[in-house]
Chain A
Amino acid sequence: MNFLDIISSLLLFAGTFFAFSGAVGLFRFPDFFTRVHAASLTDSIAAILMIAGLLLQTSFDLNTAKLIFILVFLLITSPTASHALAKSARHGGLLLFTEKPTKQGGTNQDD
């Protein structure tokens, strides 16, 4: 087992730890919006660490380029998906658990 393999397995291990934390956070946080935050942990840091770990396992050929493409597209699309979820929840009138509903329902802010 050489040096690169050790670094690579450390990165993969850290990645799985963060992905697992994100999953646990999904259950432990109180409402929808805070849960999206927990899920974004899996999207961002876990994806970066795992792909970095996998990059060290390649022999710097076409697969390296493909992994980098995967990372770039993940980093563009996953925030877009979280944004779409949060936006539709907010526009649908979902409240933060700290907010109180107004008489008409919906948020008590002016939007």
Chain B
Amino acid sequence: MRISKWAILLIVYWLLLSGFIQPLLLSFGALSVAIVLIVIKRMDAVDTQQNLVRKDHQLMHYCIWLVGEIFKSSMQVTKLIWTSPEKVSPTVAKIDVKDMPESARVLYANSITLTPGTISVDLEDDQITVHALQHPSIEELEQEDMKNRVAQIWEKST
């Protein structure tokens, strides 16, 4: 089931990138897809991460919300650049991510960095070290709005 999902995804990806419908190129595509599928199958043996189910509609919601957040914080940073760059109040803080699965942590840290005004500097010991351009951004992160939204995307498979 999972393998066939990957097969469809990879075939669509190949077709979109190449766009040539010729026997030679299509057979190259089929060969590449087959090799990748064999590797995926074999890698299951060493995969020790817990199996999580991603809810794709939640992911879409999250992406749209994230673009809105990026826009808002970009406005703040741009305003700061053009008006008073000396007014920055850089802060380093640690955000707790103990209760999140690993893949969610990566998405969370990446979202923090993607939003202008905050960078995730380090991810270890169940904590993300965040550097913020202005102190209020840290308070915003501590309200855990973004964290809850990321956590909603995954759920444990039973």
Q: Which of B71, B88, B111 counts the most chain A CB atoms within 10 A? A: B88
For A90, what are the chain B residues with a Cβ–Cβ distance below 8 Å? 121-122, 129, 131
Stretch at the interface among B3-11, B31-39, B78-86, B95-103: B78-86
Contact yes or no, B116 A40, CB < 8 A: yes
Which A residues touch B19, using CB under 8 A?
62
B152 within 8 A of A: no
Chain B residues positioned under 8 Å from A21 (CB to CB): 77-78, 81-82
Size band of the interface chain A makes with B: 35 or more
Residue count of chain B within 8 Å CB distance of chain A: 34
Contact A111 B129 (CB under 8 A): yes
Q: How many A-B residue pairs have CB under 8 A?
A: 102
The answer to whether A45 touches B88, judged by C-beta atoms less than 8 angstroms apart, is no
A87 at the interface (CB under 8 A from B): yes
Residues of A within 8 A of B131 (CB): 33, 86, 90, 96
A80 to B131, CA, bound (A): 15
Interface residues of B (CB under 8 A from A): 16-17, 19, 67, 70-71, 74, 77-78, 80-82, 85-86, 88-90, 92, 109-111, 113-122, 129, 131, 133
Given contacts A34-B88, A82-B119, 18 further A-B contacts (CB under 8 A): A18-B78, A25-B81, A28-B81, A29-B81, A29-B85, A37-B77, A40-B114, A40-B116, A41-B77, A48-B67, A48-B70, A65-B16, A66-B16, A79-B110, A80-B113, A83-B109, A83-B119, A90-B121
What are 9 sample pairs from A and B whose C-beta atoms fall under 8 A apart? A33-B90, A34-B88, A37-B118, A40-B114, A41-B77, A41-B81, A48-B67, A83-B110, A86-B121
